[in-house]
A and B are shown apart, each in its own frame.
Chain A
Amino acid sequence: MPDSAETAAAPLIEVRGVTVRYDIARTGTSLTAVEGVDLDIAEGEFVTVLGPSGCGKTTVMNVIAGLVKPTEGSVTVDGRTVTGPGPDRAVVFQDYALLPWRSVFDNVRFGLEMQQSLNSGDWRERVQNAIELVGLAGFEQSYPRELSGGMQQRVGLARAIVAEPRILLMDEPLGAVDALTREVMRDEIEKLITATGKTVIFITHSIEEAILLGDRIVVFKSHPGAILEEITVDLPRPRSERGAQSDPRYLELRDHLWDVLQNEATAASRGGKGS
């Protein structure tokens, strides 16, 4: 089984005891966003992170991305401690974060241009390839405002993969996309990424997305954010087609995750911080 081989090799991403606290100047108190998160992610693994909003899952992702410094603990990627963003990690944002004054082509180029990758002569082809890979050929000269939400997120995805990072960090990438487009894009993301063998952390609050995309699901709880449970998903790929959703194992997982999240939501509201 590949499972045993994977556990033998050192994980690509190691999150060790990560705690993030924010000082709130106005009240003089501090807010613990996440507390004591330990997580190992192997090369090529697709990990979905599931949890209620405000549970700190985005914070953990930002720490891995190098955008947020942990108050305690550390993250290493390929054995090196993360001190800031790097070309080995790319982020797909929930709100797309495209530059409205740039065309699709130039937005995708943004993923390359600040890493001195424009020196290599083939950058135009790389940008073009990324655009074609996400199905946006013909829209190179469009501005983001001329595109639908789903198409804008395709631009965000192309920008993330153009520099060929080893790790893709996706922060609820389909959260702002309409339901139908969401399913189509979920399936495309599965195909695209399993084909390239990238390591992915995919944040979502959709149970369905978590199961259909993840090799493993990490469930978060809130107040403070911490890992509640980890579940390995052993459904065969590709799962995207409707078949997986009638698989008894899929249904069992779905019900289980429902229960876990519901208990957590009830506990959270009893804790007085119901949100």
Chain B
Amino acid sequence: MSSLFAAPSGLRAQRGVAGFIAGLSPRGRALLIVTEVVLLLLLWQFLVGTLGLVNAVFFPPPLDVAQGFVELVQQGTLAQNAAVSVQSWLTGFAIAVAIGVPLGLLMGSSVPVDRVFGPIAWTLYAAPAVAYQPLTKAWFGFGTGPVIFLIVISAIFPIMLNLAAGIRTTSPSLIRAARVYGGSRMDVYRKILLPAAVPFLFAGLRQGAVLATIGMVVAELTGSSVGMGAVIIRSANTYNTDQSFAAIMLIVIWSVSMTQLVGLVERWLAPWNRRKGAAS
């Protein structure tokens, strides 16, 4: 399963469009993506806004969404609800890291702990976190409690399980090298296992950031009167779908920004792990 989380590193010779894209410089690639997005937005605006192929209430064109965004800002709805969501997200993600990292370290370095907690962790991870949503109201009431709980439960397993896998899959010859040069158990842990697991930890954090956002929106959609999820529900119920779309876009931007932020921290903390030009 761990290969599921590992970053794709195998580069194969590619032809055609894939080859063209692979051959682009980072700047060229960014330009390509921007062009793609602009073209899609234009097409969308033209088909729905100008031709009216679809009822704009169901699928508001980009300019309407922009209008909805402005409304959200002017009403003060956005500032208020985004603040609640960001706070829940950060709290939940911090708790997931604070619990997931030590548990992952334990599971990765102790076979008995892994035997006992591994199956439980994988089972909980396999169950969709969304399923707990109705219960969370009974457990945590109607405040941000259920939201934070769902964020934690969504983000904690990828963090924990990736970290554990990273420690367990450390090359045995690195461990042998540490022992040969006088390393104690503690040295092996500190100087080999922990640094070797860093790329796996960040893979888990990146995945956890996305799942945390999903958990947050699901919890806010049904169980909460505040937060971005609540904004979506309320605006959709009053047929202000342009506002719903604006809220969805903001959530997507948040999710992408957080994974990018994790990537930045990784490049800063683990500069040796640049994917390009990796050995072998």
Q: Which residues on A are within 8 Å of B, measured CB to CB?
A: 65-67, 84-87, 89-91, 93, 95, 97, 99-102, 110-115, 143-146, 159, 163
Can you list 8 contacts pairing A with B, beta carbon distance less than 8 Å?
A65-B180, A66-B180, A84-B179, A90-B180, A100-B273, A101-B198, A145-B272, A146-B277
Chain B residue nearest in CB terms to A89: B180
**B179-205 interface (Cβ within 8 A of A):** 179-184, 187, 191-192, 195-196, 198
State in angstroms the CA–CA spacing of A171 and B187 once bound together. 23
Which B residue sits closest to A91, measured CB to CB? B180
Residues of B within 8 A of A163 (CB): 181
Report A-chain residues with C-beta under 8 Å of the C-beta of B181.
Answer: 85, 90, 110-115, 159, 163
Chain B residues in 8 Å Cβ range of A66? 180
Chain B nearest Cβ from A112, distance in angstroms: 8
Q: Which residue of A lies closest to B172 (CB)?
A: A97
CA distance A272 to B20 in the complex (A): 52
User: In the complex the two chains form, what is the Cα distance from A90 to B178 in whole Å?
Assistant: 11
Minimum CB–CB distance for B87 against chain A, Å:
35
| B195 and A145 within 8 A (CB) | no
CA gap between A257 and B39 in the complex, in Å: 71
- In the assembled complex, B252 has its CB within 8 A of some CB on chain A: no
Indicate if B83 sits at the interface (CB-CB under 8 A).
Answer: no
Report yes or no: B278 in contact with A87, Cβ–Cβ below 8 A: no
CB pair B179–A67 under 8 Å, yes or no, is yes
Counting from the closest, the 9 A-B pairs by CB-CB distance are: A145-B279, A114-B182, A97-B177, A97-B173, A115-B182, A101-B272, A91-B180, A101-B195, A114-B183
The one of B182, B195, B277, B278 that contacts A99, using a Cβ cutoff of 8 Å: B195
**A67-B179, A85-B179, A114-B178 given; A143·B184 CB < 8 A:** no
Whether B267 sits at the interface, judged by CB under 8 Å, is no
Instruction: Tell me how far the C-beta of A62 lies from the nearest C-beta in chain B, rounded to whole angstroms.
Output: 8
Complex interface: chain A residues within 8 A of B184 (CB): 114
Could you tell me the distance between the alpha carbons of A190 and B177 in the complex, rounded to whole angstroms?
23
* A139–chain B nearest beta-carbon distance, Å: 15
Are A67 and B180 closer than 8 Å at their CB atoms? yes
Question: Chain B residues near A146 (CB, 8 Å)?
Answer: 277
Q: Kindly state the separation between the CA atoms of A112 and B196 in the bound complex, as whole angstroms.
A: 20
When chains A and B are docked, how far (Å) is the Cα of A67 from the Cα of B277?
Answer: 33
User: Which of A115, A144, A145 has the most chain B CB within a 10 Å cutoff?
Assistant: A145
List of A residues within 8 angstroms of B279 by Cβ = 100, 144-145
Which residue from A99, A101, A144 sits with its C-beta under 8 Å from B270? A101
Interface of B is mostly: helix
Determine the interface band of chain B, counting residues with CB < 8 A from chain A.
20 to 34
Given A66-B180, A99-B192, 13 additional A-B pairs, CB 8 A = A65-B180, A85-B179, A85-B180, A91-B177, A93-B173, A93-B177, A97-B174, A97-B177, A101-B273, A110-B177, A110-B178, A114-B187, A115-B182
Query: Once the chains are docked, how many angstroms separate the CA of A87 from the CA of B183?
Result: 11
CB distance from B202 to the nearest CB of A (A): 13
With contacts A110-B181, A114-B187, A145-B278 taken as known, whether A97 is within 8 angstroms of B176 at the C-beta atoms is: yes
* Residues from chain A with Cβ under 8 Å of B198 in the complex: 101
Q: Which A residues are in CB contact (< 8 Å) with B177?
A: 91, 93, 97, 99, 110
* Residues of chain B within 8 A of A159, CB atoms compared: 181
The answer to the question of B171 belonging to the interface, with a C-beta cut-off of 8 Å to chain A, is yes
Q: Which of A86, A87, A91, A101 has the most CB of B within 10 A?
A: A101
Cα(A62)–Cα(B243), bound, Å: 68
For B174, what are the chain A residues with a Cβ–Cβ distance below 8 Å? 97, 99
B180 contacts A95, C-beta separation under 8 Å = no
Q: Mark B131-164, 1 if CB is under 8 A from A, else 0.
A: 0000000000000000000000000000000000
Residues from chain B with Cβ under 8 Å of A85 in the complex? 179-182
Chain A proximity of B9: nearest CB distance (Å): 12
Q: How far is the CB of A181 from chain B (nearest CB, A)?
A: 16
Name B261-280 residues within 8 Å CB distance of A. 270, 272-273, 277-279
Interface centre among A90, A97, A113 (most CB of B within 10 A): A97
Contact call B182/A97, Cβ cutoff below 8 A: no
How far does the Cβ of B193 sit from chain A's closest Cβ, in whole Å?
11
Instruction: Considering the complex, give the chain B residue whose CB is closest to the CB of A162.
Output: B181
Smallest Cβ-Cβ distance to B274: which chain A residue: A145
Smallest CB–CB gap between B271 and chain A, Å?
8
Across-interface contacts of B178 in A (CB, < 8 A): 110, 114
What is the minimal beta-carbon distance from B206 to any residue of chain A, in angstroms? 19
The B232-265 residues at the A interface (CB cut-off 8 A) are: none
A93 to B198 Cα, complex, angstroms: 24
Report A-chain residues with C-beta under 8 Å of the C-beta of B187.
Answer: 114
Q: How distant is B112 from chain A, measured CB to nearest CB, in Å?
A: 16
Would you give the shortest CB distance from A152 to chain B, in whole angstroms? 8
Chain A residues whose CB sits within 8 angstroms of the CB of B277 once the complex forms: 145-146
In the complex, residue of chain B having the shortest beta-carbon distance to the beta carbon of A147: B279
Task: Find chain B residues with CB under 8 A from A97 CB.
Answer: 171, 173-174, 176-177
